[in-house]
């Protein structure tokens, strides 16, 4: 058995092993004959992973309940995101007045309604002053999301305005009170200071724009202007 042994390094050994594996020698002994010239089988076919389909369908708009269900579930609404918090409208159909407010703030989300906290307390007193119980009012926001740090783009505002008009048609309120600059711009095409003090028609409903209760809490001197707007809203249409 003698003879001189040829020592090879690790790199050379790896290179030799790689060569034999490429050549098909992947076992030291194999009982069955192997066809070395047979083409390799094609890789197994994999189907693409299915992804959940977002709720992009719109309601038929036949009823207010269908629209409310869409607002509660759709992932494609303006300002929708994984961090935005959804706040839904509330109140009766054919309400004495519909309150359409700016996008909800943190205190609104905490209260679970479009206007919450001190602002809602003030809104209740404003309604009582014109003879309307809060339970007779339908309350909604221009966007049903509280989305901190997110700015509404012109495209978002246009989409929100379209939804709001559908909302008004289905809710069928007797009167409409636009609270804040956002609803005035979206539905009247004017800033609040230009829009207030005048009677407007939105989807055939008598509408008046005035300050959001949050603004009145911070600027109580404007309450007398808001009172004039409320009286204008309730004037006879004859």
Tell me the residue range of the domain where 98 lies. 84-234
Report the pLDDT value the prediction gives residue 52, as an integer from 0 to 100.
40
pLDDT tier for residue 99 given thresholds of 50, 70 and 90: very high
What mean pLDDT, rounded, does the chain reach? 83
Single pTM value for the model: 0.74
Q: How many domains does the chain have?
A: 1
* Angle at which helices 64-73 and 154-171 cross, to 10°: 150
Percent of the chain with pLDDT over 90: 58
Report the pLDDT value the prediction gives residue 62, as an integer from 0 to 100.
82
Report the pLDDT value the prediction gives residue 158, as an integer from 0 to 100.
94
95 assigned to some structural domain: yes
Q: Which of 11-15, 82-86, 170-174, 194-198 has the lowest mean pLDDT?
A: 11-15
The answer to whether residue 115 scores a pLDDT higher than 50 is: yes
- Give the CATH number for residue 105: 3.40.470.10
The answer to whether residue 171 scores a pLDDT higher than 80 is: yes
Q: Which of 72-86, 88-102, 184-198, 209-223 has the lowest mean pLDDT?
A: 72-86
79 assigned to some structural domain: no
Report the pLDDT value the prediction gives residue 103, as an integer from 0 to 100.
83
5 assigned to some structural domain: no
154 assigned to some structural domain: yes
Nearest to 126 by CA among 182, 181, 177, 200: 177
Three-state secondary structure along the chain? CCCCCCCCCHHHHHHHHHHHHHCCCCCCCCCCCCCCCCCCCCCCCCCCCCCCCCCCCCCCCCCHHHHHHHHHHCCCCCCCCCCCEECCCECCCCCCEEEEECCCCHHHHHHCCCCCHHHHHHHHHHHHHCCCCHHHEEEEECCCEECCCCCCCHHHHHHHHHHHHHHHHHHCCCEEEEECHHHHHHHHCCCHHHHCCCCEEECCEEEEEECCHHHHHHCHHHHHHHHHHHHHHHCCCC
Residue 36 tokens read as 């070395």
Q: What is the mean pLDDT of residues 136-163?
A: 90
Residue 150 tokens read as 């997110």
Residue 59 tokens read as 């309601």
Place of tokens 């809710």: 171
209 assigned to some structural domain: yes
Q: Cα 130 vs. chain centroid, distance in angstroms?
A: 33
45 assigned to some structural domain: no
Report the pLDDT value the prediction gives residue 61, as an integer from 0 to 100.
59
215 assigned to some structural domain: yes
Report the pLDDT value the prediction gives residue 111, as an integer from 0 to 100.
82
Residue 131 tokens read as 């003879």
138 assigned to some structural domain: yes
Higher-confidence residue: 8 or 237?
237
Report the pLDDT value the prediction gives residue 212, as an integer from 0 to 100.
96
Q: Cα 73 vs. chain centroid, distance in angstroms?
A: 9
**Predicted confidence (pLDDT) per residue in 59-81, tens digit:** 555 899 999 999 999 888 998 88
CA gap 167, 154 in Å, rounded: 20
Higher-confidence residue: 59 or 168?
168
């Amino acid at each position: 058995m003698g003879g001189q042994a040829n020592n090879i390094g690790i790199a050379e050994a790896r290179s030799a092993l790689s060569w034999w594996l490429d050549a098909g020698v992947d076992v030291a002994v194999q009982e069955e004959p192997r066809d070395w010239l047979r083409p390799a089988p094609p890789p197994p076919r994999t189907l693409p992973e299915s992804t959940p389909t977002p709720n992009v369908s719109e309601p038929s708009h036949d009823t207010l309940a269908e629209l409310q269900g869409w607002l509660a579930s759709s992932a494609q609404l303006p300002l929708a995101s994984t961090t935005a918090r959804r706040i839904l409208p509330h109140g009766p159909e054919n309400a004495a007045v519909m309150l359409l407010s700016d996008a909800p703030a943190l205190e609104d989300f905490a209260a679970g309604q479009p206007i919450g906290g001190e602002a809602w307390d003030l809104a209740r007193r404003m309604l009582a002053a014109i003879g309307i119980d809060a339970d007779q009012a339908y309350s909604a926001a221009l966007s049903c999301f509280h989305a901190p740090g997110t700015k509404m783009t012109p495209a978002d505002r246009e989409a929100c305005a379209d939804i709001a008009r559908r909302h008004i048609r289905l809710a069928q309120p007797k009167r409409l009170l636009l609270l804040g600059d956002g609803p005035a711009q979206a539905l009247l095409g004017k800033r609040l200071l230009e829009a207030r003090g005048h009677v407007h028609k939105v989807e055939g409903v008598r509408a008046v724009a005035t300050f959001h209760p949050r603004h009145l809490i911070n600027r109580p001197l404007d309450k007398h202007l808001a009172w004039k707007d409320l009286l204008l809203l309730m004037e006879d249409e004859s």
